[in-house]
Amino acid sequence: MIYKKIIKPVLFSIDAETVHDATINLGNKLSKYSLIKKIIKNIYYYENDKLNLSLFNINFKNPVGLAAGFDKNALLTKFIPSFGFGHMEIGSITGEKCFGNPKPRLFRLPKDKAIVVHYGLKNDGAEIISKRLKHEKFPIPVGISIAKTNDKDIFEKDAIKDYCKSFKLFAKIGAYTTLNISCPNSKDGTTFCQDTIALEKLLKEINKIKTAKPTLLKISPDIDKEQLSSIIKLSRKYNIWGLIISNLSKNRGNLKTDKSIVNKYPGGISGLPMKSISNNLIKETYKLSKGKIPIIGCGGIFNANDAYEKIKLGSSLLQLITGMIYQGPVIVKDINKGLVKLIEKDKFENIKEAIGYKN
Ligand SMILES: Cc1cc2nc3c(=O)[nH]c(=O)nc-3n(C[C@H](O)[C@H](O)[C@H](O)COP(=O)(O)O)c2cc1C
């Protein structure tokens, strides 16, 4: 309530990237004080055995995770867990440090409960971030999202080398690695998602690198059935453990915000307009793969009903960012509490039993 009535109006009156950067800096500073983390935990943390599940040989306290893109440089791995997330994904991290696209590059669409993102993968790069995390013990499972460096001169073979460089540097860090092949905001950011031949070349090389961690793919919502079916086939062939569905969408057809405003903002759309787009893709993937490839559902989750819908369509875990920006960090507790009520109503003992129930 305090967030929505007082904090959000103030934050929303300031440039979105300035707020994002300030939040990361503040969170990083506060994460050094255990008393502050304890107070936050007291307010926001919620636990219930009915939400425990094991996936990829990893134990998750609950299905709600923080999606890639919020903690790009892995500065909040000790802070985010206090808010009750079951896992978090850092990055996306690229082979080389990236400054991203020209500013402004982050825009809110309050009428749509959406954000237009055009960061272009700003991050400190794989070498610096892997060094930062080398000896860190994570309180919750941390996924490492890696993407191709946003540089037009890095393509084809060099693009694969770039992914492999980051993959190697993080081979022993974190709980799983995600290959982000669906960034709509960088040159070649979605090539490996849309071009099956390119994806196979990438996965072949990634498969040669030794790692004990599961590898996941994060896919674009803007693909057709044929592309999805190829991604599923290649995932089976090349030891991909799961799919994150999905990244930002280029689709602007269902926005309520005036076109004259939206047209000024380059980038991909997150939040509510993505809900049905990602749900359709989750449903399709679960059907095509016969429920055999685990799905992390992502896009437009604002409450427990949205979360449960994605689980019943076939998601084993969930991720969000935009919901937290619009509802505040209490969203994690609200969703987890709501999920317990919803599974009890459906007479399930554990959230696992609801996965794919509606599909
Ligand atoms: C500010 C912002 C930055 C993002 N950056 C990344 C990124 O670096 N890598 C990535 O895979 N996804 C990125 N995303 C996409 C999210 O991870 C997520 O797939 C998408 O926003 C849909 O979820 P949501 O509707 O809950 O925000 C970003 C999203 C936002 C809002």
Residue 30 lies in a domain: yes
Residue 187 Cα to ligand 1 middle (Å): 17
Other CB atoms within 10 Å distance of the CB of residue 350: 14
- CATH number of the domain residue 223 falls in: 3.20.20.70
Residue 206 lies in a domain: yes
pLDDT of residue 1: 80
Q: Is the pLDDT of residue 309 over 90?
A: yes
How many structural domains comprise the chain?
1
Q: Largest Cα–Cα distance in the chain?
A: 55
pLDDT in tens, 343-358: 999 999 999 999 999 7
pLDDT of residue 240: 98
End-to-end CA distance of the chain: 35
Place of tokens 């809900």: 275
Atom of ligand 1 lying closest to residue 324 CA: 26
pLDDT in tens, 18-35: 999 999 999 999 999 999
Q: Is there an atom of ligand 1 within 6 Å of 270 CB?
A: yes
| Residue nearest atom 23 in ligand 1 by C-alpha distance | 299
Query: What single-letter DSSP state applies at residue 3?
Result: I
| Residue nearest atom 3 in ligand 1 by C-alpha distance | 69
Instruction: Tell me the pTM.
Output: 0.98
Q: Is the pLDDT of residue 359 over 80?
A: no
Q: Is there an atom of ligand 1 within 6 Å of 322 CB?
A: yes
Atom of ligand 1 lying closest to residue 182 CA: 11
Domain that holds residue 211: 2-354
pLDDT in tens, 255-282: 999 999 999 999 999 999 999 999 999 9
Residue 247 Cα to ligand 1 middle (Å): 6
Cis peptide before 246 (omega within 30 of 0): yes
pLDDT of residue 112: 98
Place of tokens 């993937």: 285
Bridge partners for 87 per DSSP: 65
Q: Would you place residue 290 in the very low, low, confident or very high pLDDT band (cuts 50, 70, 90)?
A: very high
Residue 117 lies in a domain: yes
DSSP string computed for 278-342: HHHHHHHHHHHTTT-S-EEEES---SHHHHHHHHHHTEEEEEESHHHHHH-TTHHHHHHHHHHHH
Select from 113, 75, 97, 217 the least CA-distant residue to 149. 97
Select from 29, 102, 40, 28 the least CA-distant residue to 70. 28
Q: Is there an atom of ligand 1 within 6 Å of 81 CB?
A: no
Q: CA torsion sign, 225 to 231 to 232 to 234? A: positive
Residue 359 lies in a domain: no
Residue 281 lies in a domain: yes
The residue type at 244 = I
Q: Would you place residue 223 in the very low, low, confident or very high pLDDT band (cuts 50, 70, 90)?
A: very high
Check: CB of residue 37 under 8 Å from CB of residue 31.
Answer: yes
